[in-house]
Amino acid sequence: MPLSEKKAAANHFRRQIRRSNELHVEYMDDAHLRKSYERFTNWQLDYLLPLFGDLYAQTGYAEAIDFTMSDLAGIGISNRDHDLERAAPAITTLLPLGALVTIASAAEMNARVLEINIAICRCLLVGNELPAQITEYEYCVACRKASSLGKCVQLVHLITGLGKTLRSLVEIPMIGITLRAMRAPAHAAGFGALQEFLEKGFRTFRQIPDIDHFLAEIENRMIEIFERIYTAPLDRLH
């Protein structure tokens, strides 16, 4: 494997996971913002997940949707991202190129989602507090202030691109056995959150019966959602 490719992937991973953790600090160190951000991300999940309701009924898709929406980006992932940055020397040295590219893409996606979501949350604040009830109208206005349709569509393509690299990763012979063998050493070394994320990602994508169909559905539906958020006449959302 070309050294330059692995070095580039390693540098990309370090930059993105550092950026993710900087963003985590932004809301974790501010009690008011942390409380608001947690409530905002819960509201956002409640807003988005019903749009995938029919996919939940299909075998192997429910856990994959939850993993994509919650485990790859959300307030509960700060411990995992801290583990990732602490483990960066080992990760960039030991992981094969394909796995390193995958985890670097996940770090980039996470950083972008965090950046956009924190900005949206800040736009929703009124007097440093989140409204008691968030409306779709308020959410769309905040989204349009915080980001753009183009950036969100790029993010969707990044998410589905990550899914494709995860698909290739689960096809690596013995990867499941290797991950299980890493469990005890990872927890002993203090990288438990990272280990659980890797195992869950592998288990989730291995169970999807048709990954290409799943990713196509995610891509199409997310783009439709963002087109509504960024282009629908606001007076229809009141």
State the pLDDT at residue 135: 93
- pLDDT category of residue 134 using cuts at 50, 70 and 90: very high
| Mean pLDDT, range 192-201, rounded to an integer | 64
**Beta carbons within 8 Å of 23's beta carbon, 6+ residues apart:** 111, 114, 115, 118
Read off the pLDDT of residues 211-227 as tens digits, 9 standing for 90 and up: 888 889 889 999 999 99
Q: Is the pLDDT of residue 102 over 50?
A: yes
State the pLDDT at residue 58: 82
Reduced to 3 states (helix: H, G, I; strand: E, B; else coil), residue 233 is coil
**Beta carbons within 8 Å of 145's beta carbon, 6+ residues apart:** 119, 123
Q: Is the pLDDT of residue 208 over 90?
A: no
| Mean pLDDT, range 95-102, rounded to an integer | 74
State the pLDDT at residue 86: 78
| Mean pLDDT, range 100-128, rounded to an integer | 88
State the pLDDT at residue 43: 93
Across-strand partners of 178? none
Read off the pLDDT of residues 227-236 as tens digits, 9 standing for 90 and up: 999 999 988 7
CA distance 141 to 45: 18
Q: Is the pLDDT of residue 194 over 70?
A: no
Contact 55, 217 (CB under 8 A): yes
CA distance 18 to 35: 23
Largest CA distance in the chain: 56
Q: Is 59 left (phi over 0), alpha (psi -120 to 50) or beta?
A: beta
- Over the chain, what is the mean pLDDT? 80
Q: What is the DSSP string of 186-222?
A: HHHTT-HHHHHHHHHHHHHHHH-S-HHHHHHHHHHHH
Read off the pLDDT of residues 135-187 as tens digits, 9 standing for 90 and up: 999 999 999 999 999 999 998 898 888 777 766 665 555 455 555 555 555 55
Contact 113, 73 (CB under 8 A): yes
State the pLDDT at residue 117: 92
Q: Is 190 left (phi over 0), alpha (psi -120 to 50) or beta?
A: left
Contact 128, 31 (CB under 8 A): no
- pLDDT category of residue 72 using cuts at 50, 70 and 90: low
Closest CA to 187 of 195, 175, 177: 195
CA distance 193 to 105: 18
Q: Is the pLDDT of residue 120 over 70?
A: yes
CA distance 41 to 113: 11
Q: For the chain, which residues make up each domain, given as ranges?
A: 3-236
- pLDDT category of residue 1 using cuts at 50, 70 and 90: very low
Contact 26, 122 (CB under 8 A): no
Task: Tell me the percentage of the chain whose pLDDT exceeds 90.
Answer: 22
State the pLDDT at residue 50: 85
Q: Is the pLDDT of residue 64 over 70?
A: yes
